[in-house]
Structure 1
Amino acid sequence: MENTNTTKANYSFVADAMLGKIARKLRMFGFDTMYDSNIEDYDILNSSKYRKRIVLTSDKTLFNRCKKKGIDAILTYKKTEIENLVTILSSLGIRFINLQQLPYLCTCCNGLLDTITDKSFINHEIPIYVLNNNKTFYECRKCSKIYWKGSHIEHISRLIKRINSELSSLTNLD
């Protein structure tokens, strides 16, 4: 699949039932990614066809069905999650994920996140130490889940650095 424009807003995906972790990571990176652990192939094909979503699948049969129908699809056949994320991003011409732009989409429901700077608007049970140690929070417009840049950001940062390193090594081979 060739695309010269590599902005996140131009790509939306539908992931098969086996790719939940990858779908959540793509959402974290800002990619609109539809995912349901009970989704059927028929629904994946319809979503892709009518909503112009790229199919992400580890199922060779589904991948071949997409190709026969002229539906954009990416086959994730690598052993590790990182290798599969690199396959997806590199196939779209994306060579870098920017950690500074996170978070963007809710990892649970794919909803947009709004920034909350006034803690009095947070009506969820957030631990006191989290409220006291963070200035900025993010709330999902759809499911109201609250996010903040906590200690997990270090893990996410390492993941992105590994992905960017892999993407960079592919660029150097071009």
Structure 2
Amino acid sequence: MLIGVEPEISIRVAGELLMFLPAARRVAVNRVPFDGTSTLGHLVESLGVPLPEAGPMTIGGAAADPSTRPEAGDEVHVAAVPRPQPVPLEPGQAAPSFLLDVHLGTLARRMRLLGLDTAYHNDMDDPALVVQANAERRVLLTQDRGLLRRRALWFGAYVRGSRADDQLRDLLDRFAPVLRPWTRCTACNGTLVPVDKHEVEGALRDGTRRTYDIYGRCADCGQVYWRGAHGDRLEEIVRESTRLVASVRGDGHPRAAVSET
């Protein structure tokens, strides 16, 4: 080691992860000081990449994990999370469930439209979100990078995109979940059940009662549903989502994460 030269580690970050780095460090290879004690996970997060977004890591081409302590001069590569990403399921759990932070309300409604078990509260703070995600084994979806860095969180994911359409595509591309459209209440996440028109007509406006004959009702909150003026748009969302998930699941090969645009 040269006297007066501070030891360093080179960390190459996949292009899909550069969005998490500060603009001044948004380059493929960053050199970070070697202190002899920091783990690989700590160094990666010090660059700005939340660990839930970091995929396979290598040191000098050999597999490593976040608890590994690199040595001076090591060359580290951090890949993006492969897609589709599997989610650990509890015994008896057929499909992953999700919890969204307060800023993703529109995405939550679209996920429920597709039949995804999606919890959402517009008044829940970060600690409470982590508690619920852990207790119910829900994937926490957020655009808050600090929230993803909470050590207590069992599983989280950053949602890319500023528009609900883009956010939904990112979610479906990342997890390729099984879809069951029209089975959940978009208001509360409860289960929808078919209901005879005469059972709900007292809650309907005259125009709705005359125009529609097929209805569903939430078994939890009692919200009544029918194919309304926005039906075509909702059908389009379901069709596009079904096609996307089919293409991702049918690929058979994990794919790197997509970049935020």
Range class of TM-score, shorter chain = 0.7 to 0.9
Deviations, residues 136-159 of structure 1 (Å, cap 9, x unaligned): 211111211100122311011223
Q: What letter corresponds to residue 152 of structure 1 in structure 2?
A: H
CA distance in 1, matches of 2:243, 2:181: 18
CA distance in 1, matches of 2:87, 2:210: 44
Q: Residue 187 of structure 2 is aligned with which of 103, 108, 112?
A: 108
Q: Given the alignment of the two structures, is residue 86 of structure 1 paired with residue 169 of structure 2, yes or no?
A: yes
Q: Given the alignment of the two structures, is residue 14 of structure 1 paired with residue 92 of structure 2, yes or no?
A: no
Q: Corresponding residue for 2:19? A: none
CA distance in 2, matches of 1:9, 1:151: 33
Q: Corresponding residue for 2:140? A: 55
CA distance in 1, matches of 2:170, 2:226: 29
Q: Residue 125 of structure 1 is aligned with which of 203, 219, 235?
A: 203
TM-score (norm 2): 0.56
Q: Residue 119 of structure 2 is aligned with which of 24, 29, 34?
A: 34
1:33, distance to aligned residue in structure 2 (A) = 0.9
CA distance in 2, matches of 1:92, 1:126: 38
Q: What letter corresponds to residue 119 of structure 1 in structure 2?
A: K
Give unmatched runs, 5+ long, in structure 1. Answer: none
Q: Given the alignment of the two structures, is residue 141 of structure 1 paired with residue 219 of structure 2, yes or no?
A: yes
* Higher relative contact order (CA closer than 8 Å, sequence separation 6+): 1
CA RMSD after TM alignment: 2.8
Q: What letter corresponds to residue 143 of structure 2 in structure 1?
A: S
CA contact (8 A) 2:172 2:241 kept: no
CA distance in 2, matches of 1:155, 1:47: 32
TM-score (norm 1): 0.81
Select the structure that is richer in strand: 2
Give unmatched runs, 5+ long, in structure 2. Answer: 1-80, 256-261
Aligned residues: 166
1:9, distance to aligned residue in structure 2 (A) = 4.8
CA distance in 2, matches of 1:22, 1:93: 16
1:167, distance to aligned residue in structure 2 (A) = 5.4
Cα distance change on mapping 1:38 and 1:70 into 2, 3 Å: closer
Deviations, residues 119-166 of structure 1 (Å, cap 9, x unaligned): 221154212232233222111112111001223110112233444565
CA distance in 2, matches of 1:102, 1:133: 23
Select the structure that is richer in helix: 1
Moved more, 16-25 or 124-133: 124-133
CA distance in 1, matches of 2:198, 2:133: 41
Q: What letter corresponds to residue 175 of structure 2 in structure 1?
A: L
